[in-house]
């Protein structure tokens, strides 16, 4: 019989730059990491590393109050939801976190999913838009939501509102130049607010204005902004756009130090999505300790000095990088250092890791609309400070980077 299985050894060899898992002893601004060991038991490094590559932006994963909230929920509600929220997995802690999220997002209601990925895929597929206008750098979960929804997806250049406008206009113009109203199609404009690959922030005000002008809905993924702006909201709150953004999506898994995702919006949106979104209906509810931890973290994001400490660290690190001569773009807590040479970027990350600074993998954000442009794209090394770094940590990061750059031979 012919072998109809999967030649995984061959496929793995083709993967080239394989993603490998390096476990840490804990999730915090510093920790001990192990070399990737495949299936073997990992051995932790003897030296502690500083983490400048986590989405745990407010450093709340090891905050006593957040941990106590998780512990208490585990003890009083249970360690797992036990079933879909539609069966027996809907608990008071879910309702509590949803009430707080609705309040922080200035919306009627919120709905918590077991992950941010599920929130995006579930919401887009439930809405079943006819046409989606999507930023080319949108997160994979938004892309997958569109694929699964089977909608027509029109991609616009990254954060380019002129390109978005021209694509909206193109859609309403008939081939003979006659302007129509787009028929009875439903349109959704879909964008991240903060793009993790390059730290850029979407021009949400203009995007919302375009949506209003063309009658489209807007859905914004605030995964990298949730909890970091005014009153624990995201960019939508910072810019006062709650009334123009129809679906605010965010995560409990980054600044809120937990696990899970959510959407916030009108009562009708939530009622509809909770009934129709398959990743909500057919998946076990968010674990109660995760919901309770996120509630406490959201409270701290709103009412403690954690946000202030994060933004101070961001500004110190950005100033230091610029003083060292690096070009740092973006306007968020994710500080991208752009390098012309891809190999240099990889060498720099290797050097940083070997000398105790853990950063995310190198990325090559798109710089133009075509694949050819992307092949020449510059490479980005990202540094992501946390609220719990102290001044010495920021200095250590800068000094290590300085030494690493010299060893790599950067100008």
Strands 357-358 and 261-265: unpaired
Among 110, 146, 154, 140, residue whose Cα is nearest residue 125? 146
Q: What is the DSSP string of 335-375?
A: EEEEES-HHHHHHHHHHHHHTTEE-PPPB----SSSHHHHH
Rounded least distance, CB 253 to ligand PLP, Å: 4
- Phi/psi region, residue 389 (left: phi>0; alpha: psi -120 to 50; beta: rest), is beta
Cβ proximity to ligand PLP: between 279 and 320 the closer is 279
Instruction: Tell how strand 335-339 and strand 379-383 pair up.
Output: antiparallel
Judge whether 48 and 356 are in contact, CB under 8 Å: yes
Q: Which listed residue (54, 115, 125, 283) binds ligand PLP by CB under 6 A?
A: 115
Q: Taking CB under 6 A as the rule, does residue 192 contact ligand PLP?
A: yes
Residue 388 makes contact with ligand PLP by CB under 6 A: no
10 Å CB burial of residue 5 (0-12, 13-18, 19+) is exposed
SS3 assignment, position 213: helix
Structure tokens belonging to residue 268: 């009708």
Q: How far apart are CA 42 and CA 47, in angstroms?
A: 15
104 binding ligand PLP? (CB under 6 A): no
- Among 66, 73, 112, 196, the residue binding ligand PLP under the rule CB under 6 A is 196
Q: Verify binding: residue 226, ligand PLP, rule CB under 6 A.
A: no
The yes or no reply on residue 29 touching ligand PLP (CB under 6 A) is no
- Could you say whether residue 56 binds ligand PLP (CB under 6 A)? no
Asked if residue 255 binds ligand PLP (CB under 6 A), the reply is no
Residues 6+ apart with CB under 8 A from 238: 225, 229, 230
Query: Interface mask (CB under 6 A) for ligand PLP, residues 206-225, using x and -?
Result: ---------------x-xx-
Quick one: 260 or 320, whose CB is closer to ligand PLP?
A: 260
With respect to ligand PLP, which residue has the nearer C-beta, 194 or 410? 194
139 is an interface residue for ligand PLP by CB under 6 A: yes
Minimum CB distance to ligand PLP, residue 250 (Å):
9
User: Which residue minimizes CB distance to ligand PLP?
Assistant: 116
Q: Which of 116, 233, 265, 365 touches ligand PLP by CB under 6 A?
A: 116
Site for ligand PLP in 140-179 (CB under 6 A): 141
**Chain contacts with ligand PLP (rule: CB under 6 A):** 115-117, 120, 139, 141, 192, 196, 221, 223-224, 251, 253, 261
């Amino acid at each position: 019989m012919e072998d109809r299985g999967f030649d995984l050894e061959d496929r793995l060899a083709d993967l080239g730059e394989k993603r490998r898992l390096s476990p840490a002893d804990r999730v915090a601004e510093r920790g001990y990491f192990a070399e990737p060991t495949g299936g073997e038991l990992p051995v932790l490094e003897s030296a502690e590393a500083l983490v400048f590559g986590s989405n745990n932006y407010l450093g709340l994963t090891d905050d006593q109050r957040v941990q106590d909230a998780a512990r208490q929920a585990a003890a009083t509600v249970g360690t797992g939801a036990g079933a879909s929220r539609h069966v027996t997995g809907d608990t008071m802690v879910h309702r509590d976190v949803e009430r707080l999220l609705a309040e922080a997002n200035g919306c009627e209601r919120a709905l918590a999913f077991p992950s941010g990925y599920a929130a995006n895929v579930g919401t887009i597929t439930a809405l079943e838009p006819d046409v989606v206008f999507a930023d080319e750098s949108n997160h994979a979960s938004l892309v997958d939501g569109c694929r699964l929804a089977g909608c027509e997806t029109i991609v616009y250049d990254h954060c380019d509102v002129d390109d978005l406008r021209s694509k909206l206009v193109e859609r309403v113009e008939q081939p003979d130049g006659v302007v129509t109203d787009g028929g009875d199609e439903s349109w959704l404009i879909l964008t991240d607010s903060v793009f993790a690959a390059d730290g850029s922030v979407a021009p949400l005000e203009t995007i919302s204005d375009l949506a209003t002008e063309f009658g489209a809905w807007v859905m914004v993924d605030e995964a990298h902004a949730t909890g970091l702006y005014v009153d624990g909201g995201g960019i939508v709150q910072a810019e006062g756009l709650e009334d123009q953004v129809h679906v605010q999506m965010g995560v409990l898994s980054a600044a809120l130090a937990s696990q899970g995702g959510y959407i916030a919006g009108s009562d009708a949106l939530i009622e509809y999505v909770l009934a129709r979104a398959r990743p909500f209906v057919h998946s076990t509810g968010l674990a109660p300790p995760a919901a309770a931890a996120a509630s406490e973290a959201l409270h701290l994001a709103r009412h403690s000095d954690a946000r202030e400490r994060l933004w101070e660290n961001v500004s110190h690190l950005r100033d230091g990088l610029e003083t060292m001569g690096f070009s740092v773009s973006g306007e968020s807590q994710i500080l991208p250092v752009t390098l012309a040479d891809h190999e240099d970027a990889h060498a720099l990350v290797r050097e940083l890791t070997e000398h105790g600074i853990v950063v995310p993998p190198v990325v090559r954000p798109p710089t133009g609309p075509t694949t050819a442009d992307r092949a020449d794209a510059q490479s980005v090394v990202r540094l992501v400070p946390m609220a719990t770094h102290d001044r010495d940590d920021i200095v250590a990061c800068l000094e290590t980077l300085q030494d690493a750059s010299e060893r790599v031979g950067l100008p």
